[in-house]
C-alpha cells in the first residue's frame, strides 16, 4: 500500500478542507494528521469526500464522543482529531457529504470558528505587543505578526460569511442541494 507524508500549515480550515478534497481527487486519501503532518494513502481517485469540523469540546469530552459515535452510525468515518478539530470522510459512492442542511447550525459553526480564531489572534497580538521594544525578540515576533495578519483575514472572512447566512435565514429555509 502506497503512502506519503506531506508537511503543510493552514491558518483557515476551509482551505485545508479544499486541499484534502483535491488530494483525494488525485488519489491520495488522508489517513492521519499531527500538527503540520498529513499522512496519505493511495486510493482510487475521488473515493471519499472530506469535511473538517470544529468540536465544541476536546475529543475526549463525552459530548464530542457522542458526536463522533453519531457520525459513525450514519456512515461517516472519523479519520483523526487534533485539538478540537475532527477530520471526517464519507465514501463518494454513498452520496454527497454536507455537514449542515440549515442556516442555524451553519451560523453556530461560524460562531465557534470566529471565537477560536479570535482567541488565537489575541494571544499572538499580546506576544507581539509584549516583545515589540525588545531587540532580541525582534525577529521571532515576525512570525506572530504574520499569524495575526492571516487570522485577522480569516476572522473577517468568517464574519462576513456569518452575516450572509443570517441574512439568508431571515428570508427562509435553506434549500437542500444535491
Closest approach of other proteins to the CB of residue 135, in Å: 49
Q: DSSP states of 3-57 as a string? A: EEEEE---SSHHHHHHHHHHHHHTTEEEEEEETTEEEEEE-STT-EEEEEEE-SS
Q: Does 111 bind other proteins (CB under 8 A)?
A: no
Q: Does 108 bind other proteins (CB under 8 A)?
A: yes
Q: Does 117 bind other proteins (CB under 8 A)?
A: no
Segment interacting with other proteins, rule: CB under 8 A, options 41-49, 92-100, 130-138, 140-148 = 92-100
Interface pattern 41-80 for other proteins (x via CB under 8 A):
------------x-------------x-xxx-xxxx----
Residue 127: name the closest of 111, 151, 159, 101 by CA. 151
Separation CA 26–CA 101 (nearest Å): 28
Among residues 55 and 155, whose Cβ is nearest to other proteins?
Answer: 55
> Taking a C-beta distance cutoff of 8 angstroms, is the pair 44, 2 a contact?
no
| Interface size with other proteins, residues (CB under 8 A) | 20
> How many whole angstroms from its chain centre is CA 137?
31
Contact residues for other proteins, defined by CB under 8 A: 53, 67, 69-71, 73-76, 98-102, 104-105, 108-109, 173, 176
Amino acid at each position: 500500500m502506497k503512502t506519503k507524508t506531506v508537511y503543510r500549515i493552514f491558518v483557515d480550515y476551509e482551505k485545508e478542507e479544499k486541499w484534502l478534497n483535491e488530494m483525494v481527487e488525485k488519489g491520495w486519501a488522508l489517513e492521519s494528521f499531527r500538527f503540520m503532518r498529513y499522512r496519505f494513502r493511495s486510493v482510487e481517485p475521488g473515493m471519499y469526500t472530506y469535511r473538517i469540523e470544529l468540536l465544541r469540546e476536546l475529543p475526549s469530552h463525552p459530548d464530542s464522543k457522542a458526536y463522533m459515535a453519531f457520525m459513525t452510525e450514519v456512515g461517516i468515518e472519523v479519520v483523526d482529531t487534533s485539538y478540537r478539530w475532527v477530520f471526517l470522510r464519507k465514501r463518494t459512492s454513498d452520496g454527497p457529504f454536507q455537514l449542515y442542511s440549515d442556516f442555524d447550525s451553519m451560523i453556530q459553526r461560524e460562531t465557534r470558528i470566529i471565537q477560536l480564531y479570535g482567541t488565537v489572534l489575541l494571544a499572538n497580538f499580546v506576544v507581539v505587543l509584549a516583545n515589540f521594544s525588545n531587540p532580541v525578540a525582534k525577529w521571532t515576533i515576525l512570525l506572530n505578526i504574520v499569524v495575526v495578519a492571516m487570522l485577522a483575514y480569516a476572522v473577517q472572512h468568517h464574519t462576513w460569511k456569518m452575516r450572509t447566512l443570517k441574512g439568508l435565514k431571515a428570508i427562509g429555509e435553506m434549500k437542500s442541494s444535491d
